[in-house]
Amino acid sequence: MQFQQQQLYDHYESPTVEQVPEAVIFSDAQGSLWHSLFTCGDFKITNETAYSGKNSIKLSWDKSKGCEWLGFGNSFSNWSAVDLSEERNKKALTFFVRTQEKSSGAVTIVANLEDFGGGGSYLYLDTKKYLDGLNLDTNWKQMIVPLWDFPLIEEEFDIRAIKQVKFQLEGGGSFYLDEIRLIDYSPQQYQEFRKRIETLKPKGEPKQLIFKPEEFEFSVWNAGKTACQDLNLVTQNNKKILSWDYNAEKCSWAQWGINWNGWYQVNFRGITEISQLEFSYRTNGNFKIYLEDFRGNSKEIFQAASLINSETEWLDVRLPLSKMELEKSGFALDQIKQLRFEGIGTGHTEIQEIKLSKLR
C-alpha cells in the first residue's frame, strides 16, 4: 500500500486557527465533498439508501485499472484551519458503512488528516479495530476511529492547522457511506467498545481433544527417530500413548509440537476461565511444555521433574487456562498454534490423554 506523495512547503501563510466546530464531513448531502476517481471508479450522492436522512455516498472503485491515486475528501470547518492538538485525545472520526451487495471483510481506505501545508497523518481504517461488528454486509454499521491512533509526526504535518479529512482508496470495493463526522470520544469509550466486540466473536469449545493417535503423523512435528530424540506411538494395555526418549545434552533439538486442528488456528477465546489443560505422564527425566500462538508468542506453562515413582506411576496434571494469563502475555486467543514439548538433559517420558476439559 502506498500513500499519496504530496509536496510539503517550507513556508505557507497560516490561516486563522479555529476551535473544533460541529465537525460534519458528510451528512445528507451537506458540505462540499470533492472526489477524484478518474476512470477507475464511481462516486455519487444517492437516495437509494441512507443511514440517516435521505442521501448517502455510493462509492465503487478498482485501483488495478491503472489509476495512480483515488480518493475523496472534505473540510469539516468551511476550509478554515482547525487546531486538533488537544482535541485529538478526545475525539474520533466516525462514519456508517454498508456493502452494495454480498459481504466484505474490509474496507480498504486510508484516512488522512491534511494540514494547510500539504502534509498529512495517514491511518488505515482497519475494520478489525474500528468496526462495530465482525464483518461488513448490506446492513449499516458504524466505524469509530480514535484520532489518537493517527500518527503524530511533527516534521510531516501540523496538527494545529488541519485543513480537511481525505480518504485514499486502495484495492477495490463497492460501498455506501453516510454520516461522516468527528465526534467526542474517550479512551475509556474505546476500551468498552472493543470489549463489546470481543463478546461477539466466536468462542472456543471448552472441551478439546488434543492428542488423537489416529492423527499422530499429521498433527505432530519432529516425530520418529532423530539424532536428538525418538518419539513414537506405542501400545500399552490396548491403549496408544506417546513414548519419548530424548538427549538434549547431545543436541539442541530434543523437542516436538502438536496441533489439534489440522495446523489451523485453535480458538481459546471465551474459555480461559472455564477450561483446563489435562494430561498424564511418567518420566525419569525433565521436560518443559510451552503454549504458542501464530503471532509468535510463546509461554512456558509446565515443567516436569523426575520424582519418586514418577517413572512407573502415572501422574495426572490439570493446568487451568486462567493461571496462564495468556491475554496479559499478548496471546491472540483465537490463534493458538501448538503445544511444544522440550526435553531437558536425557530421559524417557510417556504421555497420554492430552486434552482440554472443563474445570471441576
pLDDT in tens, 321-348: 999 999 999 999 999 999 999 999 999 9
Q: What percent of the chain has pLDDT over 90?
A: 84
Q: Are the C-beta atoms of residues 136 and 99 closer than 8 Å to each other?
A: yes
| pLDDT category of residue 311 using cuts at 50, 70 and 90 | low
pLDDT of residue 360: 82
Average pLDDT, the chain: 91
Over range 164-189, report the average pLDDT. 96
pLDDT at 186 over 60: yes
| pLDDT category of residue 13 using cuts at 50, 70 and 90 | very low
The residue among 4 and 79 whose pLDDT is bigger is 79
pLDDT of residue 4: 52
Over range 240-262, report the average pLDDT. 95
How far is 105 from 261, CA to CA, in rounded Å? 23
pLDDT of residue 252: 84
pLDDT of residue 283: 93
Longest dimension (CA), the chain: 87
Q: Are the C-beta atoms of residues 64 and 173 closer than 8 Å to each other?
A: no
pLDDT of residue 306: 57
| Domains along the chain with CATH numbers | 17-200 (2.60.120.430), 208-358 (2.60.120.430)
* DSSP-based three-state secondary structure for 322: helix
Residues 6+ apart with CB under 8 A from 103: 135, 136, 137, 138
| pLDDT category of residue 199 using cuts at 50, 70 and 90 | confident
How far is 158 from 21, CA to CA, in rounded Å? 18
Closest CA to 292 of 336, 255, 257: 336
Over range 62-71, report the average pLDDT. 95
Over range 16-29, report the average pLDDT. 69
Q: Please count the residues of the chain.
A: 360
C-alpha cell at 53: 436522512
Indicate the range of 102-106, 138-142, 333-337 predicted with least confidence: 102-106
Residues 6+ apart with CB under 8 A from 291: 298, 299, 301, 324, 326, 331, 336, 338, 339, 340
Over range 178-192, report the average pLDDT. 96
Over range 43-65, report the average pLDDT. 95
Which is it for strands 172-184 and 56-62: parallel, antiparallel or unpaired?
antiparallel
pLDDT of residue 7: 42
